[in-house]
Structure 1
Amino acid sequence: MGKSEPGDTAELSDPLRGAAADLFGMKYLFPYQRLVITNILGAAAASGIPVNWPENRNNQISPGGQENSREDSDEGGDRQNLGRQIVILPTGAGKSLCFQLPAMLLGGPTLVIYPILSLMADQQRRLEERGFSPVTLRGGQSAEERDQIREKVVSGKSRFIIANPEVLLVPKVLAMLESWGIVHIVIDEAHCVSEWGESFRPSYLEIGKIIDAAKTNLITAFTATASDPVLEKINSYIFGGNGAHRIIGNPNRINIHYAARGAVLRDMAVRDSILAHPRPAIVFCSSRPGTERLARYLREQLRDREIRFYHAGLDREEKAAVEQWFFANKNAILVSTCAYGMGVDKPDIRTVIHRDCPPTVEAYLQESGRAGRDGLPSEAILIWGPDDRAAAERIGKEADRRRFEALLTYARNIGACRREQLLSLLNYTGAGESPEDSCCDVCGKTASPELREIKSILGFFRRNRRWYTVKEAAEVLAGMDTVQWEKEEIRTALGYCLRSGLLKQGKGPFWKGKISPAERVNPSGHLQY
């Protein structure tokens, strides 16, 4: 489908497309964007909310819209739910336009709820760059600042209110919402209801209170990826279990090449992956201390200062400085928790590496989807290791453990295309378009089910059976030009091989402590039974 040139007469007969061109300079709308926007505008008109088209577009569209796109809806096409939508769009699919364009046409402000401050700041920056005047509610604002925000909203100077659940649930803020005349509530990254709401962000379970206080029927929940259990919780906590239209965009990002690497030494695996793949890059870690430690390790190993860390424990000024540095830097490596991974729009990230396995496939696709938002070829690499099993055992809820283990299975499975595995885990049954080449390491026949260190370690001890103790082997291996390991890393890898039975230590007087391969280990590192 071709894009129109400036002045294309198609815009005159397609006011939605024309409004996108007038207000945002967008000459083309994807079918799923058109459907989401038309549902919002149609529901608004049906509820008596004015829809104010640009002057040259007036009276060119009916209140209910003109779209005939198909949707996947559990509730059917009843008008009651027309403005209640769960929208599943892949990262980089133009999600923001789905609520920004209606916000400029509706006769009242739009409230957009985000999970993290960096994403709120990113949205405000992008809106201001387009010439709009959003307001942001955040903790720590004075009464005077809140009065100024209220004046901008009530007077119509600002059509966008940006906030997170916690600040909206403050009693004074909650009491003000109805008087602000909010006509549309948008919940971005709605899967947080499931992933965070029942643990450390209980405010997500009370979004219904915010919706009730604002007294609006136009509610749109956006997420990049969601399986059936997550969608059920979104429906329960945001829509009160009353159902919502479900609009599904294709979650398949064909410009991303997927790979998984098994490693005992995860930091070293990250280092080698960075050396082998293009920048800018993000490396996701599961903990704040982990980001700081890995950033130091990479700076030392790569002798590179273009490496920084980011997590929610940084203060506002530190976060802003890192965000600005990363956004403008073509050679940057950012080591981060998921605090950065949600929606901050840097289009040219070429490589996303997960040092630690995320808790769910939704989280993995959300974070790996930071790569290649400009549509150019990009990489997504998941590091897995023997300690993942222990991590799974520490997960209390069985359902959560199953979701984590499903992603571990994906990482180890080299019998099926990674892209198809990910789509299957999402219960996605649409046409799975795959790139002709550079799909994944399985399709490219470079995938391995083995831990990357094992083959070389076993090979060394087959050539040097009963010659070295752990300490002696670490000294020898660390001194070899072909092995770029630190002594402590070698000792860690040898410890794993001994504990798992791949290596054994002699016990006799002549061979005490000397290492050799276990008798039942084949050349690829598997125990034979």
Structure 2
Amino acid sequence: MVVGLAGSRRELDDAVHTVLGPDAQLRPEQRDALRRLADGDVLLVARTGAGKTAVYAIASLLTGRPAVVVSPLLALQRDQVAALHEAGLRAAAASSAGGAARHRAALEGFAAGDLDILLLAPEQLARPDVVAAVQRAEPGLVVVDEAHCVSEWGHDFRPDYRHVTGLVERLGHPRVLAMTATASADVRRQIVEGLGLRDPAVVVHDADRPGIWLGVHHAATEGERDALVVDLALEEPGAVIVYARTKRHVESLAEALAAAGRPALRYHAGLPPEERQRVERTFLGGHADLVVATSAFGLGVDRADVRLVVHAGAPPSLEQYWQEVGRAGRDEEAARAVLVARAEDVALNRYLRGSAGPRRETLAAVLRCLGDEPMGRAALASATGLAARTLARALAELVDVDAVRRVGDRFAGTGTSVPTAAEAVARRHEHRATLDRSRVELMRTYADTTDCRRRVLLELLGEEHPHVCGRCDSCDAGTSVEVHAGPLRPGQHVRHQAWGGGVVSVVEADRVTVLFESRGYVALDTAVALDSGVLTPDEPHEQSA
């Protein structure tokens, strides 16, 4: 089956049974990813709980060579190492948090062939000793977990993920498997570009979580919003996660819940690390059933019996919303996800998504240090005096406008002047900001629709979902409609008189949302846009029978 990774079906079956158990069968998304991985790089987009860890564990066994896994959080790494140990694989995480001796032991064990899988945080890839140890191990597979973090349009952007490209080049381009639970079409494109995947197969499997009921409440004021959130939490006897927008909001909601008779754990980035770890252990261990948190309580949160996820205000992106909604109902039992939204959420989201980009002086400092002779990051950081994250962002911008070129895991200049490079970066940043602002509007589209919420959300995330779901407040109210026989369909190419080419993202009863390369996401009145000729399909649409 997986000819490029193993020579026989028997070897595949043996690997599956080793990782998943003697009676296990591969799920369709797992089989699809392994089949495509036999031929080249793969981007796998599959919902939480689809068994993505098993894919790389099986692939590693089939190659007969070790694998290196880039994973962003220590909690995720701990869970993955435990799962791999349970499957009988030799795995370890090389983390600075475990102490220098343990970090060194993991690297030495991997280089010596004593480990099957090594897990690393992306920032570890900037360390020469880590890269050298990985090279000595000669891995046959590089895995990038939570790959949406490489996208500046994603909700968890981590510049350190850009180190993966240099590592893959140093290793001679082994297979690369990038994985995430949620990624819209534009985020998928940035993952492919940001990781330097070579002609990858993009495997997108159903992101739907049909067991989660979806609903939205609208509030006119902050007080009304918070009162609705408190009522929802009080009505649910099971485990609840409440997502708030800011640290201050976490504190005020927790106080309101305590006053109403249901004390809540609090979690946000302003708390000391040991307190955050205590909250994680308490909630994930089932010793408390209510937590109020910012989005910092995200990756690595895995408690099976969460019955309700409430958002006190719309998040900045649909990807973030769907990732956080996915904390509910992991035991496959019925669960709910409710957004309590205000019109003012869009303005706050625009502020939260805003970014000034690298300063001209920062770009100039990097360009002045780079000539024809490539330099590594450590040398560049020393020469420029820039912090590692600032340098990573500046290099990413300069590479994207061809003012800097990559040479393995080092960088060299291209002869581009500082004014030319700064102008190109500014243009690119403004274009990205335009698209980013349009993405903020997608949350408004989701919150305001009277159509099937699940269909609208999944189609905005790039999936076809023509039928109503029967598991949302719009379906309960009877306002959802079937639109698969309409004049436009998701994925269809269209052309706007002013904005040029675009792709239909979601179709509602009387409105269509289109992603334009030059403008971002735009919602249009379908009848007006088509009848006036402002919007025309690039190809005729055949009506369904």
Shorter-chain TM band: 0.5 to 0.7
Q: Which residue identity lines up with residue 402 of structure 1 in the other structure?
A: S
- Cα deviation per residue 1:209-249 (whole Å; 9 max; x = unaligned)? 23223334211111112112111111111125x43101111
Q: Which residue of 2 aligns with 1:21?
A: 17
1:281 Cα deviation (Å)?
1.5
Q: Deviations over 1:65-94 (max 9, x none)?
A: xxxxxxxxxxxxxxxxx2301111012222
Alignment of 1:340-379 (within 5 A): 340-379=297-336
Structure 1 residue aligned with 2:28, among 27, 31, 37? 31
Question: Could you say if the C-alpha distance between residues 288 and 109 of structure 1 is closer, same or farther in structure 2, counting changes exceeding 3 Å?
Answer: farther
- Report the 3-state secondary structure (helix = DSSP H, G, I; strand = E; otherwise coil) of the residue aligned with 2:65: coil
Q: Which residue of 2 aligns with 1:243?
A: 199
1:410 equivalent among 440, 446, 451: 446
Post-superposition Cα deviations, 1:440-483, rounded to whole Å, max 9, x if no partner, equal 011111999xxxxxxxxxxxxxxxxxxxxxxxxxxxxxxxxxxx
Aligned counterpart, 2:404 = none
Which of 253, 275, 286 is matched with 1:294 structurally?
253
Q: For 1:166 and 1:277, locate their aligned partners in 2 and report how far apart those are by CA, in whole Å.
A: 40
Is 1:441 aligned to 2:473, yes or no?
yes
1:168 Cα deviation after fit:
1.9
* Post-superposition CA distance 1:88-107 (Å, at most 9, x none): 10122222211122234432
**Equivalent residue number for residue 58 of structure 1:** none
Instruction: Tell me which amino acid in the other structure corresponds to 2:460.
Output: L
Structure 1 match to 2:146: 189
Aligned with residue 277 of structure 1, among 236, 242, 250: 236
TM-score, with length taken from structure 2: 0.66
Q: Which residue of 2 aligns with 1:500?
A: none
- Listed one character per residue, the Cα deviations across residues 300-329 of structure 1 (whole Å, up to 9, x for unaligned) are 32x234x21223454554333322221221
Provide the rounded CA distance (Å) in 1 between the counterparts of 2:192 and 2:253: 38
Alignment of 1:380-399 (within 5 A): 380-394=337-351, 395-396=353-354, 397-399=433-435
Larger deviation: 115-124 or 351-360?
115-124
- Pick closer, same or farther for the CA change 1:189–1:278 going to 2, 3 Å: farther
Aligned residue for 1:442, secondary structure, equals helix
Matches within 5 A, 1:81-480: 82-139=39-96, 143-195=100-152, 201-239=158-196, 242-263=198-219, 264=221, 265=223, 266-301=225-260, 303-305=261-263, 307-329=264-286, 332-394=289-351, 395-396=353-354, 397-414=433-450, 416-429=451-464, 434=469, 437=470, 439-445=471-477
User: Structure 2 CA distance, aligned partners of 1:126 and 1:389?
Assistant: 40
Does structure 1 conserve the Cα–Cα contact (< 8 Å) formed by 2:234 and 2:262?
A: no
- Deviation, structure 1 residue 420: 0.7
Unmatched 5+ residue regions in structure 1?
A: 1-11, 43-81, 449-529
How many residue pairs match? The answer is 390
Distance 1:431 1:103, change over 3 A: farther
Report the CA distance shift for 1:418/1:410 in structure 2 as closer, same or farther (over 3 A).
same
Worse-superposed segment, 405-414 or 143-152: 143-152
SS in structure 1 at match of 2:475: coil
With a CA cutoff of 8 Å and minimum separation of 6, indicate the structure with the bigger relative contact order.
Answer: 1
Q: For 1:131 and 1:237, how far apart are their aligned partners in 2?
A: 33
Residue type of the alignment partner of 1:272: D
Q: Quick one: distance in 2 between partners of 1:343 and 1:401?
A: 28
String of CA shifts for 1:166-189, please: whole Å, max 9, x gaps: 122123323332112222111111
How many Å apart are 1:133 and its aligned residue? 3.8
User: Hey, what's the Cα distance between the residues in 1 that align with 2:276 and 2:115?
Assistant: 26
Distance in structure 1 (CA, Å) of the matches to 2:146 and 2:345: 26
Q: Find the residue that maps to 2:337 and give its secondary structure.
A: strand
- Per-residue CA shift, 1:469-515, capped at 9, x if unaligned? xxxxxxxxxxxxxxxxxxxxxxxxxxxxxxxxxxxxxxxxxxxxxxx
- Structure 2 Cα separation of the partners of residues 443 and 161 of structure 1: 46
Q: Counterpart of 1:339 in 2: which secondary structure?
A: coil
Deviates more, 1:312-321 or 1:268-277: 312-321
The residue identity in structure 1 corresponding to 2:84 is L
Contact 2:139-2:174 at 8 Å conserved across structures: no
CA distance in 2, matches of 1:209, 1:443: 49
Distance 1:254 1:339 in 2: 25
Tell me the amino acid that sits aligned with residue 160 of structure 2: S
State the match for 1:501 in structure 2.
none
Q: Distance in 2 between matches of 1:133 and 1:149?
A: 11
Partners of 1:431 and 1:299 lie apart in 2 by 43
Paired letter, 1:32: E
Question: Aligned partners of 2:153, 2:258: CA distance in 1, in Å?
Answer: 32
Q: Quote the residue 1:8 is aligned against.
A: none
Partner AA of 2:464 in structure 1: T
**TM-score, with structure 1 as normaliser:** 0.67
1:479-494 counterparts in 2 under 5 A? none
Give distance in 1, aligned partners of 2:172 and 2:154. 22
- From the superposition, tell whether residues 199 and 318 of structure 1 become closer, same or farther in structure 2 (CA, over 3 Å): closer
Structure with bigger strand share is 2
Q: How does 1:67-82 map to 2 (within 5 A)?
A: 82=39
Partner Cα separation in structure 2 for residue 196 and residue 104 of structure 1: 34
- Deviations for 1:225-275, whole angstroms, at most 9, x for unmatched residues? 2112111111111125x4310111111211110011112233222111112
Q: 1:431 to 1:387 in 2, by over 3 A?
A: closer
Partners of 1:393 and 1:197 lie apart in 2 by: 14
Secondary structure of the equivalent of 2:444? helix
Structure-2 separation of matches of 1:428 and 1:140: 39
AA aligned opposite 1:285:
A
| Mapped contact 2:310–2:339 kept (Cα < 8 A) | yes
1:247 maps to a residue whose letter is V
Root-mean-square deviation over aligned CA pairs: 2.8
1:278 positional shift: 4.4
CA contact (8 A) 1:280 1:330 kept: no
Equivalence for 2:384: none
Q: CA deviation at 1:116?
A: 2.3
SS in 1 for 2:441: helix
Unpaired runs of at least 5, structure 2: 1-7, 355-432, 481-545
The higher radius of gyration belongs to 1
